[in-house]
Amino acid sequence: MPLDIQATLDKFAKLRIVVIGDIMLDHYIMGDATRISPEAPVPVVSVARDTYVPGGAANVANNFAGLGVPTDLIGSYCDDPESVLLNDVLTHRGIQLSPIGQKDGATTIVKTRVVVQRQQLCRIDREAKPAAYGLDHILQDPQFLDLISNADAILFSDYAKGVVNDTLLSAVRTHLATLPEQPLLIVDPKPKRHLDLHGMTLMTPNRAEALQMAGFDSSSDADFDDEAVSSAIFKKYNPEKLVITLGAEGMLLGEKGKIIGRIATVAREVFDVSGAGDTVIAVLTAALAAGEPLKEAAALANRAAGIVVSHLGTAPISAEELLNA
């Protein structure tokens, strides 16, 4: 039976999602370059406009907001001008950035991209070292415990900046074990960090990450054996559900230790894949929390990804776009 998208979107509005991860501010400097600098062999960019949008875990929350899902966002940042700008951007989108994540030394992460005639010229990153972003100071905070206790799903958005670590994961699991009903636990993993990710409802690695998690060669030209890769991940991490995003090859779905199939990509025109993974995990999480089966949730996420890759820059999905696709 085909998924009733409107009915599913109606369920989204009744959810409560908590996103925990590496929040960022994406800054786009848009302009043109018609001459070379006399100071060095580099183009001179004449700036037309500056655009600021949520990035990293904040973009995941932005996708939830676009779908009409009530969302709380927890991440590390400090009292700097960039955090004020990020908070303004999030508030405008109806996203609550929890104040408990503020801490000294946690420089608000900003990624600045210089874009000339729709081509990225360079990227400038502003961030502290990973140790600055840990959330150890909030793990026993009543406000934090209340947020995760009342969530339908908790999504760990790991960009390897330091927020998602074993201390955080252990504290969340320990607290949730005391509850009569536990929220879904979702993670977008970064295998190079070697975190203890057992007990997850859903894991969503991409092709290279899945190969790394399985202990195989993860180079771009490496073979990808669906059965071997998924079996290795299920054996090592034991997630309830597994969705491996394979770019132009679609998605590989697994559940309860077994492959349940592949779905083909629906992208017609790929302009910019920035943020597509954030869209996929947000839609998957919302659909699963709303009670949809994995195949239907993945089909909806695949449709959403096909929409956002046709946009320039980091762009969230919206309920209207899903309905009109």
Query: How far is it, in rounded angstroms, from Cα 160 to Cα 192?
Result: 9
Q: Which residues pair with 72 in a beta bridge?
A: 18, 96
Cβ proximity of 316 and 66 under 8 Å: yes
Nearest Cα residue to 216 out of 195, 204, 233: 233
Which residue has 């252990």 as its token pair?
170
Which residue has 């057992």 as its token pair?
198
Query: How far is it, in rounded angstroms, from Cα 32 to Cα 88?
Result: 28
125 counts as catalytic: no
Element (DSSP H or E) covering residue 122: strand 119-126
Angstrom distances, CA of residue 323 to CA of 8, 42, 144, 188, 251: 11, 44, 34, 26, 21
Look up residue 220 and give its two tokens.
């771009």
Query: How far is it, in rounded angstroms, from Cα 254 to Cα 212?
Result: 17
Cβ proximity of 23 and 133 under 8 Å: no
Helix pair angle (142-149, 166-176), 10° resolution: 60
Element (DSSP H or E) covering residue 294: helix 294-308
Alpha carbon of residue 7 to chain centroid? 24
State the catalytic residue, choosing from 26, 72, 152, 278: 278
Q: Which residues are catalytic?
A: 278
